[in-house]
Amino acid sequence: MTAKSKWLDFHTHFGEDGSVNSPFAVVSISVEDVDKARMPNLFTIGLHPWQTDRLDSYRMVVNRLPGLLAQRRCLALGEVGVDRLRGAPLPAQQELLALQLRTAETQHKPVVFHCVRAWSEMLSTLRAARFTQNCALHGFQGSCPVLPGLLDEGWFISVKPRNNGTIAPEVAEIPLQQILIETDAKPVLIADVYRAVAQVKQIPVADLLSTVTENAQRFFGINPAAVGKHA
């Protein structure tokens, strides 16, 4: 599996060509892919559920992940989680998730979750870990049976385009203060994702840009300007 990049752009403005210019884009990297490409300026890192069936999955989580997660440029653990359709058997995925959550809790890092048809397994693992840091759901496209509960618990929801490039109408139900934006490595400009989400939320794009910046500050627990200065 190649690196599954996700862009959370949280301090941004539109350029003259309509693109988004930002030194504060956050890329999601798998711990397996660290040695294969140049590391981005800001990133999240974890063992993706799809890679849990690797023979060296436990070694990567126990031996490699803590040091990578501790880097100043690493803002969160993720994507991690549970996937019923791909990866190791669910008990093994849950065990690996628990190990990663323990590391993130120790280092006070938030977590970006991937979950496919295994909500009860993922949430039971999270609760058993007594995890207290911020949580975000990756790749929201309108299908999430536990969305109301996640919102009540203060989760951030990272919105991405559907396969046809549109934004799910269910995004209208997500409070603005809990939205993050991503492309999930799709061949689209993140500026276009902002515009599409702003249309669904019926607010000016500038307001959405400002709100997502503030949301990301709260989710990552950092000052974006400080990160850009010292990264």
Question: What's phi and psi for 39, nearest 5 deg?
Answer: -70, 140
What CA–CA distance (Å, rounded) separates 134 from 223? 16
3-state DSSP of 149-205:
HHHHCCCEEEECCCCCCCCCHHHHHCCHHHEEECCCCCCCCHHHHHHHHHHHHCCCH
Whether the CB-CB separation of 220 and 231 falls below 8 Å is answered with no
Tell me which DSSP letter residue 229 carries.
H
- Tell me the pLDDT band of 42, cut-offs 50, 70 and 90: confident
Structure tokens at 116: 């496919």
How far apart CA 103 and CA 32 sit, in angstroms, is 17
Rg (CA), the chain: 17
Tell me which of 102-116, 147-161, 209-223 is least confident.
Answer: 209-223
Q: Are 177 and 157 in contact, with CB atoms under 8 Å apart?
A: no
pLDDT at 137 over 90: yes
**E strand or H helix at 97, and its extent?**
helix 90-107
What is the torsional sign of CA 197, 202, 205, 207? negative
What pLDDT is attached to residue 24?
65
Q: Work out the average pLDDT over 123-151.
A: 96
**What percent helix, strand, coil does the chain show, rounded to 5?**
45, 20, 35
What rounded mean pLDDT belongs to the chain?
A: 87
**Structural domain spans, the chain:** 7-230
Please state the pTM of the whole predicted model: 0.89
- At residue 144, the 3 state secondary structure works out as coil
Burial class (CB in 10 A: 0-12, 13-18, 19+), 179: buried
pLDDT score recorded for residue 189: 83
3, 37 Cβ separation under 8 angstroms: yes
What class has domain 7-230? alpha beta
Structure tokens at 189: 């400009």
pLDDT tens digits along 51-95: 999 999 999 999 999 999 999 999 999 999 999 999 999 999 999
pLDDT bucket at 18, cuts 50 / 70 / 90: very low
Rounded Cα gap, residues 176 and 198, in angstroms: 10
